[in-house]
């Protein structure tokens, strides 16, 4: 895991440049814009404090919003996930996914899609993600923290229809009946069986679910995600996708070394 932002190498850019063929900035290159957005994701600063070596922050922000609304940012992480799976000898589409959520505080001035998670005593938002068996993110949803895990998880389901091999979800008991019935509409099964606690062995990672917790841990290295600073929760989803896309691009570069 890199400790600071590093611009994309030529090798890394080859994986995602096709997404920008029909949506190129007129004055600056798509690569410059994407690097600038990734810098914001890593550094966590305000748009106005964007490093001066990048294009003007207004231009960068404009393309961030444009690419977020068009779904391009989410498309990139899905494509990278498929590529990384193939690099590891797996099929592009996963057959099993783990789902979980993370409640997080919000920055000042955030008033919409915000609530109190009574269990975790957090006033903010809830990040729900679906990951494959190795922790790669394939879908993300951000809503108010007081939204039940099962209901929030339902928002992930329509985003997963492109994975033709998908059969099974694993989640904790909070994903119970509501989520299971929603998944069943798509022909998917949900397993919320939990391992009983063991006094002899201490904490026992739950089979095929611990990866999602590790993924949340990886995301913590991106300062933009230390809190939810976004007025629009769709921007929050985009920054989560950007963070993990950077993680995969780093890994793909390491395969080449």
* pLDDT at position 205 over 90: no
Residue 24 per-residue DSSP state: -
Give the pair of three-digit tokens for residue 87. Answer: 């690099």
Each residue of 82-133: pLDDT tens digit? 999 999 999 999 999 999 999 999 998 898 899 999 888 999 999 999 999 9
Each residue of 161-181: pLDDT tens digit? 999 999 999 999 899 899 999
Which of 251, 255, 249, 254 lies closest to 34 in space, CA to CA? Answer: 249
Q: In 10 A of CB 245, how many CB atoms?
A: 24
Give a yes or no: residue 234 inside a domain: yes
Give a yes or no: residue 111 inside a domain: yes
What's the pLDDT score for residue 217? 87
* pLDDT at position 228 over 80: yes
Give a yes or no: residue 1 inside a domain: no
Across the chain, mean pLDDT equals 90
Give a yes or no: residue 123 inside a domain: yes
Give a yes or no: residue 5 inside a domain: no
Q: How far apart are CA 139 and CA 178, in angstroms?
A: 18
What's the residue count for the chain? 257
Q: How far apart are CA 12 and CA 210, in angstroms?
A: 28
Give a yes or no: residue 3 inside a domain: no
What value does the mean pLDDT take over residues 40-45?
Answer: 93
Give a yes or no: residue 239 inside a domain: yes
Structure-model confidence comparison of residues 213 and 73, the more confident one:
73
What value does the mean pLDDT take over residues 45-68?
Answer: 95
Q: CATH number of the domain at 188, please.
A: 3.30.420.10
Give a yes or no: residue 73 inside a domain: yes
For 4, left (φ over 0), alpha (ψ -120 to 50), or beta? beta
Structural domains in the chain (count): 1
Please name the residue that has the structure tokens 């026992």.
204
Q: Which range marks the domain in which residue 132 is found?
A: 10-256
Q: Supply φ then ψ for residue 50, to 5 degrees.
A: -55, 140
């Amino acid at each position: 895991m890199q400790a600071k932002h590093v611009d994309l190498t030529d090798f890394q850019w080859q994986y995602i440049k096709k997404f920008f063929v029909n949506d190129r900035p007129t004055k600056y290159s798509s690569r410059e814009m994407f690097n600038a957005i990734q810098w914001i994701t890593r550094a966590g600063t305000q748009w106005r404090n964007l490093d001066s070596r990048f294009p003007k922050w207004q231009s960068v922000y404009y393309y961030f919003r444009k690419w977020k609304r068009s779904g391009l940012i989410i498309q990139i992480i899905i494509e990278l996930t498929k590529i990384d799976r193939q690099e590891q000898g797996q099929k592009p589409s996963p057959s099993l996914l783990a789902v979980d959520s993370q409640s997080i505080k919000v920055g000042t001035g955030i008033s919409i899609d915000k609530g109190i998670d009574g269990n975790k005593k957090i006033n903010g938002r809830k990040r729900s993600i679906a990951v494959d068996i190795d922790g790669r993110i394939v879908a993300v949803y951000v809503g108010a923290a007081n939204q039940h895990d099962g209901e929030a998880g339902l928002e992930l389901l329509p985003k997963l229809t492109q994975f033709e091999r998908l059969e099974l979800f694993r989640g904790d008991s909070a994903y119970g009946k509501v989520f299971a019935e929603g998944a069943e509409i798509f022909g998917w099964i949900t397993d919320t069986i939990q391992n009983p606690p063991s006094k002899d062995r201490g904490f026992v990672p739950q089979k095929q679910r611990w990866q999602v917790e590790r993924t949340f841990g990886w995301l913590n290295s991106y300062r933009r995600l230390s809190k939810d600073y976004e007025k629009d929760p769709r921007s929050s989803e985009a920054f989560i996708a950007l963070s993990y896309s950077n993680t995969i691009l780093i890994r793909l570069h390491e395969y080449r070394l």
